[in-house]
Amino acid sequence: MGRWIKRLSITGLLTLFVLSALARIVSAGLGAMPEGTEADPLEEVLLCPPSDEVATLLGQIAGRDEELRGRETALAMREQDLEIARQEIESSLERLGEAESRLAARMEMSATASNDDINRLVAVYEGMKPKDAAVLFEAMEPTFASGFLARMRPDAASALFSNLSPEKAYALSVMMAGRNANAATE
């Protein structure tokens, strides 16, 4: 809006100067013409050079007008560049959202598959003879073994516990009891 006001002001000022010059020329020309002759005011304007002051102002106005046109062109180009950048950013954000959705789906599928695998393995351990399963659990790290025992049915876990060495049974009991000791209660 501001640039249009400036342009309007410059254009209005230029128009006033031209009209002022025309008025001077016409009034000077009408007084000097003999009676009965008609003068062409346009011809007199073209023949009569403007004063130095008016010529300087007209030159300054023309220069300012050219400068404003250059700024408008630069601004239009910047606006075009910004629009292109905005479109590229929106496109990138859309692609990023799609990639995030695909990643979330893969993570969900991976978590589900991992959980399914563990549940299947727990079912295998529950189906084994407690004495055979105890041999495997004796060889496992307590943190690893306690994860399986926590998921097992209580009757299958108790049968397995009864076949473990006292040290291993104690270590697994401590791990299972301490699993949620630091969990928030509220």
What are the tens digits of pLDDT across the range 132-177? 999 999 999 988 898 889 899 999 999 998 999 999 999 988 888 8
Res 37: pLDDT = 56
Res 30: pLDDT = 54
Res 153: pLDDT = 93
Write the secondary structure of 84-145 as one string of H (helix), E (strand) and C (coil): HHHHHHHHHHHHHHHHHHHHHHHHHHHHHHHHHHHHHHHHHHHHCCHHHHHHHHHHCCHHHH
Res 22: pLDDT = 73
Q: What is the chain's mean pLDDT, rounded? A: 81
Compare 32 and 64 and report the one with higher pLDDT.
Answer: 64
